[in-house]
Every structure is written in structure tokens, then in C-alpha cells.
Amino acid sequence: MSDAALAQRALVTGGAGFIGSNLVRFLLGRGLDVLNVDALTYAGNLDSLADVAADTRYRFARADVRDRAALERLFAEFDPQLVFHLAAESHVDRSIVAPEDFVTTNVVGTFTLLEVARRAWGDDGARRFVHVSTDEVYGSLGETGRFSETTRYDPSSPYSASKAGADHLAHAYHRTYGLPVIVTNCSNNYGPRQFPEKLIPLMITRAMAGEPLPVYGAGDNVRDWLYVDDHCEALWAVAQRGKPGRDYNIGGDEERRNLEIVQLVCAELERVRPASDNAALGGRAYRELITFVEDRPGHDYRYAIDAARLRDELGFSPRESFESGLRKTIGWYLDNARWVERATSGAYRDWIEDNYGARLDR
Ligand code: NAD
Ligand code: DAU
């Protein structure tokens, strides 16, 4: 598809979540009309969209991707040319504690959306359904090697297994019905508006509050990190120039051990908001908050992405380095104390107690 032939109406599911809210903003910035379909679970946050809520090209519909009738209505009204499917239960630790919603939202919800799109779009091959998935479907790497699009699926957690199931359905809808589906498998995102249950915002917000920084195991697990704006650019490249039926791996080429990340967060906070000026630290340095806790069950050791296909076929490479992205991210959390305060009140506190209470008491 050339730029000129590009779609004007994009339906984003999960647009009130971390990546979704950044993607909605990105698409509006490119002149598209955007319909955000989100059930507003604990992870959905309309505060993240406050600055675009009045944009006449933006519309929000509170709906569940498992609700077929609601999706049919929205497809009929909005007639999207593009779908970016991000709605999901996304947190691995929660999938270990309570897997059911992961199966119903990630597998059944994806099925429902695929089915509604297939019936609404018929055989219109100019539409695009971008199914946003994860590198976790490939399982765990040792010290060497990288995931490519041909790596065998081998998911470890209920979360990654549910995403793998959804990916298979997405491919099946292309092969069986010719639905123009593209699947993307991306590494760990970070950046503004990420719910503070994930490693980086959890560490930033807890360090600022002078609370222990829970590092699982020895902190030597490795993840590949991608700044969220780069993920949005990659999804846009895929929607414009990707080939239906194909997978694209998306990565940052920025592998880091977890402990190194937590130490970098502490060092950057010390630079921009010295612990000596932060009463919550009570005279301690940020790094003194680092606490090694019981490991995550089934914890994948290492993820690394071979993104050659995205680079060679679609000309995409990430712009942000990990160090500059982390600085921007920390700056955003420091500048948005009200967002953090609202996101970390209420049910969030129950999650912190459930997941970390016993681990930190040991
Ligand atoms: P998130 O948890 O921040 O947001 C998920 C959003 O989906 C929320 O707004 C939530 O309200 C909504 N949602 C959940 N269940 C729903 C349902 N049944 N119906 C409608 N909406 C529902 O997630 P995220 O980190 O922004 O991830 C978005 C997508 O990208 C997910 O599909 C995830 O698997 C994938 N992904 C995430 C990462 C990452 O590092 N965060 C990396 C690769 C892929
Ligand atoms: O790889 C892509 C995936 O990245 C996405 O599909 C998921 O939606 C997203 O949540 C993320 O999964 P991870 O499990 O890698 O992210 P998380 O931030 O939960 O953890 C990152 C690493 O940090 C992991 O090795 C576990 C570790 N960790 C995490 C938390 C929350 C800790 O050591 N302590 C913690 O408190």
C-alpha cells in the first residue's frame, strides 16, 4: 500500500493501555481518525489520553473484545480500514496468580475480533488487521542466539501461551479465509504511561517513594528493550508495507540484565532527584533499596530479537537508545506525579501486597 492509498480510519483495541495510548496519539498525529475500543480493566487508564480526548478525530468506546455484538456494532458504525489489536491481559505475574482472564481475553477475545473483522470486511484485501503480539511466545533463550520469525513457539507462562494461541488463530484466519492479518512479535517496551506493575515504572515509582526494589532471583535475566515510540513506528511500517499473512519480529537490539536496569534507574534518579533531597529515602541511597526476592515461577532466562526482516523488508530500525529512552521515561514519571498517584491508588495496592508481600517479608 502506498502512503496515498493509506487508510484513514483505524480501530485500536486496548487503546487505554500503555502501548495503545501511545499508539492512539501516534496515529492521530499522522492524521488518521481513531476509534479506541477498550474495556478499561485495571490496566486501562483514560488519564493517559486526557490530552487527545477532545480531538474530533478521536472516539472512545468502552467495550470488551469478548463482546461480539458490541464489536459488530462498532465495525458497522466506524467501518475501520485498519485494526491494531492490542487489547490483552499483559502481565506475566498476574497470569501466574489468575490465568483465566488471560485465556478469555487473549484467546477468545482475539478470536471474536477476527471473526467480526472477517464478516465485516468480506474479501476486501486492502484492509489490514495488525495483531500485536510478543516475543515471549518463543520461550526462553540461553546465553546465545536470537528469536527469528521461524523460531518454534514454546511459551512458558499462561500469558505467553494465551498470546501464542491468539497468534495461531490470527494466522489461521489469513490462511483459511484470506483475512489480511499481519502478526508482530515485539520485545519488552518501556516509556511514558506504562502501568507501574512492569519492571521499569515499578522501580522508578518505588524508588521515588523509598520502597524496596524487588529484583527476582539474582537479577541476571536478560530482556531486549524497545522504547514505546519506536514500537508505534514499527507497527505503522507494518500496517503500511507489511505483507498479509507474515510475521514481523520487532526489537530494540538493547539487551540488558534486570539488575543492570534497576541500577541504571537508581543512578539516573540520583542524578536528577538526589536521594539527599528526597525525604522518603530517609538518608539512604536509591541503590540501597535493591532487594533480591523469590524468583518468578517458570521465569524465562533471556529474550533477544533478530529483527532483520523488519529492517530489510520494511526499512525500519529503532531510533531511541536504551540510555536516552530511560532518561526520557524517568523524566516523564517525575513530571507526571498526579498520573502516578492515581494509577497506584486503589486496587493497585492489593496487587503489590499479593505479589510482593510475602516475598519482601522473608
Ligand atoms: P496494558 O496491560 O498496558 O494494556 C492493555 C489494555 O487492554 C488496557 O487498556 C485494558 O483495559 C485493555 N483490555 C484488557 N482486556 C480487555 C478486554 N477484554 N476487552 C477490551 N480491552 C481490554 O498492555 P500493553 O503493555 O500496552 O500491551 C499491549 C499489547 O501489546 C498486548 O497485546 C501485549 O501482549 C502486547 N505486547 C506488550 C509488550 C510490552 O512490553 N508491554 C511487548 C510486546 C507485546
Ligand atoms: O517480552 C515482551 C513482554 O514483556 C510482553 O509481552 C509483556 O506484556 C510484558 O509484561 C513484558 O513481560 P516481562 O515479564 O518480560 O516484563 P516485566 O516488566 O514483568 O519483567 C521484566 C523482567 O524483570 C523479568 O525478567 C522479571 C523481572 N522483574 C519484574 C518485576 C515486575 C523483577 O525482577 N522484579 C519485578 O518486580
CA of 93 to the centre of ligand 2 (A): 8
CA of 195 to the centre of ligand 1 (A): 10
Where in the sequence is the domain holding 305, given as residue range(s)? 3-194+226-254+298-321
**Alpha carbons 237 and 250: distance in angstroms, whole number:** 11
Q: Residue 346 has what pLDDT?
A: 84
Q: Residue 1 has what pLDDT?
A: 43
Q: Residue 7 has what pLDDT?
A: 64
* Ligand 2 atom 36, closest CA: 214
* Ligand 2 atom 23, closest CA: 199
Catalytic annotation present for 159: yes
Relative to the alpha carbon of 305, which ligand is closest? 2
Whether 241 is covered by a domain: the verdict is: yes
CA of 58 to the centre of ligand 2 (A): 31
Q: Which atom of ligand 1 is nearest to the CA of 40?
A: 11
Please tell me if the CB atom of residue 286 comes closer than 6 angstroms to any atom of ligand 1.
no
Whether 341 is covered by a domain: the verdict is: no
CATH number at residue 11: 3.40.50.720
**Catalytic one among 33, 38, 64, 136?**
136
Whether 337 is covered by a domain: the verdict is: no
Please tell me if the CB atom of residue 329 comes closer than 6 angstroms to any atom of ligand 1.
no
Number of structural domains (the chain) is: 1
Measured N-to-C along each axis, helices 228-241 and 18-29 cross at an angle, to the nearest 10 degrees, of 60
Q: Residue 141 has what pLDDT?
A: 98
Whether 94 is covered by a domain: the verdict is: yes
Q: Which atom of ligand 1 is nearest to the CA of 90?
A: 2
**Alpha carbons 303 and 142: distance in angstroms, whole number:** 9
Give Cα separations from 27 to 8, 125, 237, 304 (angstroms): 10, 21, 12, 28
Q: Which atom of ligand 1 is nearest to the CA of 250?
A: 43
Query: Among 18, 42, 92, 157, which residue has the most ligand 2 atoms within 8 Å of its CB, making it the best to mutate?
Result: 92
Please tell me if the CB atom of residue 199 comes closer than 6 angstroms to any atom of ligand 2.
yes
Give the angle subtended at the CA of 21 by the CAs of 125 and 313, to the nearest 5°: 45
**Alpha carbons 357 and 45: distance in angstroms, whole number:** 25
* Ligand 1 atom 44, closest CA: 134
**Residues 6 or more apart in contact with residue 154 via CB below 8 angstroms:** 137, 138, 139, 140
Q: Residue 361 has what pLDDT?
A: 81
Whether 205 is covered by a domain: the verdict is: no
Catalytic annotation present for 89: no
Relative to the alpha carbon of 102, which ligand is closest? 1
Please tell me if the CB atom of residue 19 comes closer than 6 angstroms to any atom of ligand 1.
yes
pLDDT in tens, 234-292: 999 999 999 999 999 999 999 999 999 999 999 999 999 999 999 999 999 999 999 99
Whether 117 is covered by a domain: the verdict is: yes
Helices (H), the chain: 18-29, 68-78, 92-97, 100-101, 110-121, 158-177, 199-208, 228-241, 258-272, 308-314, 322-335, 337-343, 347-361
The closest alpha carbon to 130, from 25, 234, 253, belongs to 234
**Residues 6 or more apart in contact with residue 70 via CB below 8 angstroms:** 61, 63, 64
pLDDT in tens, 117-135: 999 999 999 999 999 999 9
Whether 333 is covered by a domain: the verdict is: no
Strand-strand pairing, 188-190 and 213-216: unpaired
Please tell me if the CB atom of residue 106 comes closer than 6 angstroms to any atom of ligand 2.
no
Whether 186 is covered by a domain: the verdict is: yes
- Give pLDDT < 50 ranges for the chain: 1-5
Catalytic annotation present for 216: no
Q: Residue 82 has what pLDDT?
A: 98
Please tell me if the CB atom of residue 225 comes closer than 6 angstroms to any atom of ligand 1.
no
Give, as one character, the DSSP assignment of residue 291: E
